[in-house]
Every structure is written in structure tokens, then in C-alpha cells.
Amino acid sequence: MINIDLTGKVALVTGSTRGIGHAIALTLAECGARVAIVGRDAAKAEDVAAQIGGGALGFGCDVSVPAEVTALVAAVEERCGSLDILVNNAGITRDNLMLRIKDEDWDAVINANLRSAFVATRAASRGMMKRRWGRIINITSVVGLMGNKGQTNYAASKAGLIGLTKSVARELASRNILCNAVAPGFIETDMTAAMAPEARTAMSQEIPLERLGSPSDVARAVAFLSSDSASYITGQVLVVDGGLAM
């Protein structure tokens, strides 16, 4: 339990049916926020929301489809009365060496990871501007800072999120809307479970803190950036990686 008060705030976390997004939603709910859970399957998202409680609601949305993202933001605002904290977390990988990446794998990753965040931010920022309060947090990756063999499409999407974050931070600062990015390192989720054991071992040996991160390590950073304690922080990339990328 962390000592952050988000009572009265509504938070939308994309990709929150499992993994990092789920931990973020849980942590924001523990801090008092009402959370909107999002995954591709509405029934699964509703189940997760029911487990979280605190007025949480579940929504089905494929974030790689712009019209669905715009409709999602409208639905959250309508059903919850507001949208104060937007966490663009949903993300996918389609790893391959650059020469072997197919156009459709490039497009799928860019659309799910980057265009989705732009569309959600555009939709959510209108209400935040009217209310003169907002937090937008984009989940990027250390790979967006460092690059990675076999992840050209993913790294480009994550580096793009950093440019999006800084530009939105500059455009919306005067309306008291803060936009930051969190860059996780190597976190234990389904995404990393799919890696080859040798790759996992090699990667963990590079981490100064000598362990993989947990989803809640990332969630606590997001809760901090959502809170009033972070009210003078915008346009930043907070790296949560056990020292990997320093």
C-alpha cells in the first residue's frame, strides 16, 4: 500500500486485464481512484474490474483501431462522469530482425503501441482542458532509449511515445495537464515469459539490482506521477529498470 490519495479521480488504463497495466489499475484503485479496465475482450475486462472493485468498470477495445479508442474515451467519460488520469499502457511485440520485419508487423506494432496513445490522448485531453487538471502517462520502454536487436518496430514505437510525451507536455502544460512517460526495463509478465530462457538469463545478468522488475515496481511510479506530489514534473521519462539502461 502506498500513501497517495487519488480519491475522486477517474483513471483509464489501457491493456489492464493483466501484466503491468493490471498492476497499475490495482494500485491506482488502492489509492482511491475509480479505474476503467481495458482489454480486447469486454467480458474479461469486466471480470477484472469486478475483482478490483471500488466502482471499477471494464471495457472491450482494440486500441489499434482509432474509432474504438475514441469511443472508449467517450464511454468512460459518460459512465464515470470524468477522465482525469490516462495511462497509455497497452502494447504488443512482433519481434524479428529488421530485414525480416514484414510491413504488416511494422504497422501492427506502431498502431497498437503508438497511434493508440496519440488517439487516446487527443480524445481525453479535451475534457482535461475544460477541467484544468489532467495526467497522461505513457508506458514506453528502455528499448525506446537504447534500441534492441530484433525489436526495430517495437523500439521505434516506444521512442515515438517519448516524442509524443514531450510534445503533449509542452502543448498542455498551461492547462495544468501533465504528460510523462515511464520506461520499464525487464519486467516479469506474459510478454517477457515468451522470451527464450538464455535471453532472459543474459538480460538479467545486465541488471545492477540483480533481479527482474515486478509489475508493481512500475505501478508505483505511475501512481506517483498521477499524484499531486508530482505536480511540477512534466515531459519526463522515468526509467524503472533496476539500473539496466543508465
Binding site for ligand NDP (CB under 6 A): 14-21, 38-41, 44, 61-64, 89-92, 112, 139, 141, 184, 186-187, 189-192
Three-state DSSP at 151 gives strand
E-strand ranges in the chain read 10-13, 34-39, 57-60, 85-88, 134-139, 177-184, 237-240
Cβ 7 to ligand NDP, closest distance in Å? 25
Cβ 241 to ligand NDP, closest distance in Å? 8
Q: Which is nearer to ligand NDP, 133 or 140 (CB)?
A: 140
Say which residue the cell 519526463 belongs to: 236
User: Which residues have CB under 8 Å from 1's CB, separation 6+?
Assistant: 30
Q: Which of 154, 168, 177, 240 is labelled catalytic?
A: 154
Three-state DSSP at 105 gives helix
Cβ 175 to ligand NDP, closest distance in Å? 26
Q: Which is nearer to ligand NDP, 89 or 234 (CB)?
A: 89
Cβ 142 to ligand NDP, closest distance in Å? 7
Q: In terms of DSSP H, where are the helices of 85-208? A: 103-110, 116-131, 143-146, 152-172, 190-193, 197-205
Q: Say whether 232 is catalytic.
A: no
Q: Which is nearer to ligand NDP, 172 or 239 (CB)?
A: 239
Q: Which is nearer to ligand NDP, 39 or 127 (CB)?
A: 39
Please state the length of the chain. 246
The set of catalytic residues is: 154
